[in-house]
Amino acid sequence: MRSYPFIYQAYLQQDDFAVSADFLVIIHSQSDLGDYRYEAWDAKLSTSTQPYFLIQLCCYSWMLEATKGVMPEETAIVLGDLTENRFRIARYYSYFDRIKKDFLLVSCSLKACF
């Protein structure tokens, strides 16, 4: 399989979720792809990182794990002033997972109402 240094507007899907990630950036490390994997990066016009940016990137990372066989260790946000902020996924992932489970529970309950 051919690797690219970065992929712009990458389509990711897992279960009932689907997104277009701003960027997937190659990292040289083992995965189901071989000796490389990808991290999700997002570009924002904001000049500060907002909590929901990290939830969004945890979601992208969850989808990457399903398709690439390994959870990215880190993610990055490039802000409007071109500042690059890097974050460890593990620090935020359990919060994302709880939000996802709650969302699915409510969504399932709403479907039963219709």
Domain boundaries, the chain: 6-109
What are residue 76's DSSP bridge partners? 41, 86
Dump pLDDT digits (tens) for 55-76.
Answer: 999 999 999 998 888 899 999 9
DSSP collapsed to 3 states, 14-58: ECCEEEEEEEEEEECCCECCECCEEEEEEECCCCCCCHHHHHHHH
What integer pLDDT is reported at residue 41 of this predicted model? 97
Q: What are phi and psi of 48, to 5 degrees?
A: -145, 150
Q: Given pLDDT bands bounded at 50, 70 and 90, which one contains residue 112?
A: low
